[in-house]
Chains A and B, each alone.
Chain A
């Protein structure tokens, strides 16, 4: 198959015909931060954390296809600033209390904030009132921590061939809705890919929290994306 050539942050790389910028960059050893994009899932382009400048325009790297001669900016101050703002807004918009969250140390949102060196968000916390669904015997859904990335929605449909999750409402009222009175009334199983797909502590398995000691959790010592930047190094 013919390949296309592009540059990312001045470095020349090649990509397969039709490959997304995110995937092509990954193959070239360049990590583009992302939240809603996830291996094995059709890209969604909703979180905008993977925003890059392509030939002068801001595009979401997870959905944008590489074209011949494309010039991609990934690590510029401007792009970094955009991404930091998105992460900040995600933190203030929900109730993200890392100190008692079971996902802490495994959380992709937290890991991104660590990677960006964020000591405190720049915006006011909204402290929204959100529900927690504990009805299911093996899984719980904490809307306080949901960032509306849609990974569970896509995983449930495309990988589990169910339709447990959907978004309802629009704008600041947008929220995740389950297909039934509560999680227990759906056909969700603890082994479903949807459960494993959550990047934050919103959709969680019960009774397995805090199993890994502090210091040995995935993002305690190694920044998120390091596996892409220097594969094989631990």
Chain B
């Protein structure tokens, strides 16, 4: 295993928009490759950790039990855990169900909505499907989070600044127009 710092990324209840914004650092991805080795991430499609990581980046909040297990595993495997984007921080779009009972959400989606074709009249309950939580939980309500990068998605420059700061130990001075909630 190389001596470079390892980073891992994951998308929980997110849309992969934040991962797209990671790619948006453009040519700097070559510099990043000099600095780090990618561990578990959708970028290399590794499904599990290869070793201990310096930085873990989490997109999306927790909407089901699998999200919670993955997030807890990230917390155990990573020295620094980063909430990337609004969904990880405040739940975002998936949190719109937070004040509607789960049963009502499922019945509406699978039974009652106009255009639903569901002759069995049941809500999917295959054991392969992760169980939904009663509501969406932001990541910092499930595990300790060390660093937050808001935005929908966060600007690539904000991600770059944070990564450089975390990996070199020298925090980058905040820039006004790189802190965004939209």
Contacts and interface: CB of A to CB of B under 8 A. Distances in A.
Interface of A: 91, 95-101, 104-105, 110, 113-114, 117, 119-121, 124-125, 127-129, 214, 220-221, 223
B179 A98 contact: no
- Which of A110, A120, A127, A128: most chain B Cβ within 10 A? A120
Given A124-B141, A128-B99, A98 B89 contact: no
A113 B149 CA distance: 14
Contacts of B99: 95, 127-129
Which range holds the interface residue count of chain B?
A: 20 to 34
A223 B83 CA distance: 24
28 contacts: A95-B99, A97-B86, A97-B93, A97-B95, A97-B96, A98-B181, A99-B92, A99-B93, A99-B152, A99-B182, A101-B182, A104-B182, A110-B181, A114-B179, A114-B180, A114-B181, A117-B179, A120-B83, A120-B89, A120-B148, A120-B150, A121-B90, A124-B141, A214-B182, A220-B177, A221-B176, A221-B177, A223-B176
A95 B135 CA distance: 14
Contacts of B140: 120
A10 to B, nearest CB: 25
Contacts of B177: 220-221
Contacts of A101: 182
A117 B182 contact: no
Give the dominant DSSP class at A's interface. loop
B24 to A, nearest CB: 15
B98 interface: yes
Given A99-B182, A127-B95, A114 B90 contact: no
Nearest to B136: A127
A130 to B, nearest CB: 8
B60 interface: no
Nearest to A110: B181
B56 interface: no
Contacts of B180: 114
B174 interface: yes
Interface in B131-182: 135, 138, 140-141, 147-150, 152, 174, 176-177, 179-182
A125 B93 contact: no
A98 B90 CA distance: 10
B93 A114 contact: no
- Which of A91, A98, A99, A117: most chain B Cβ within 10 A? A99
A97 B90 contact: yes
Given A120-B140, A221-B177, A98 B91 contact: no
Contacts of B149: 119
Contacts of B86: 97-99
Contacts of B95: 97, 125, 127
Given A119-B148, A119-B150, A120-B150, A127 B98 contact: yes
B174 A104 contact: no
Interface string B98-125: 1100000000000000000000000000
Given A97-B90, A99-B92, A220-B177, A105 B83 contact: no
Given A125-B138, A128-B99, A214-B182, A98 B176 contact: no
Contacts of B181: 98-99, 104, 110, 113-114
Given A120-B148, A125-B91, A127-B99, A98 B182 contact: yes
A133 B182 CA distance: 24
Nearest to A121: B90
